Amino acid sequence: MLNNQVDLGLIIHENRFTYADKGLHKIVDLGNFWETKTGCAIPLGGIVVNRNLDQDIQVKLNRVLRKSVEFAFANPKSGLDFIREHAQEMEEAVMYKHIELYVNQYSLDLGVEGRKAIDILFKLAEEKDLIPKISKNLYVSQH
């Protein structure tokens, strides 16, 4: 129990590297659960675009975001002030561990494996009636 307030919680972001130092105990690692269940990478987040926008704008947005991630990979300290301002854990080593785990090759290109993970996530959500059936392609296609 942390601060004698809560008996149970979901640990996310950089706290997954520090929870044990706070006397907290893991019941289940949802990332490991997903990977064991599906054999896929964890689809943690995504960038969405309104499909009512012109296709050229969708593709340009995709291209600009990719260039931004490429810049961040080439200049890893460029965003340090921003990251430090928004990080829950201020230790720089923890921040970089977090970044290395979540910003990876899938951030640049989902590839076959990344798309498979997202497709399975949506399929499972459809099967459980959590979302309506998807009838359109989920991905922005390049010209």
Residue 52 lies in a domain: yes
Residue 8 lies in a domain: no
Mean pLDDT of 39-47: 84
Averaged confidence pLDDT in the chain: 85
Residue 5 lies in a domain: no
Catalytic residue check, 143: no
Residue 138 lies in a domain: no
Number of H helices, E strands in the chain: 6, 0
CATH classification at residue 99: 3.40.190.10
Please name the residue ranges forming H helices in 75-110.
80-86, 92-102, 105-108
Give the Cα-Cα-Cα angle 93, 64, 106 (nearest 5 degrees): 50
Mean pLDDT of 117-121: 94
Mean pLDDT of 118-128: 95
User: What's the domain count of the chain?
Assistant: 1
Looking at 13, 25, 98, 143, which residue is catalytic? 13
Residue 110 lies in a domain: yes
Residue 1 lies in a domain: no
Residue 88: per-residue pLDDT: 66
At 6 the three-state DSSP class reads: strand
How far is the C-alpha of 120 from the C-alpha of 41, rounded, in Å?
A: 11
Six token digits for residue 98: 């977090």
Residue 141 lies in a domain: no
Residue 85 lies in a domain: yes
Band (pLDDT 50/70/90 cuts) for residue 15 is confident
Residue-range definition of the domain harbouring residue 47: 13-127
Higher pLDDT, residue 128 or 4? 128
- Cα–Cα distance list, 87 to 61, 79, 84, 90 (Å): 26, 12, 5, 6
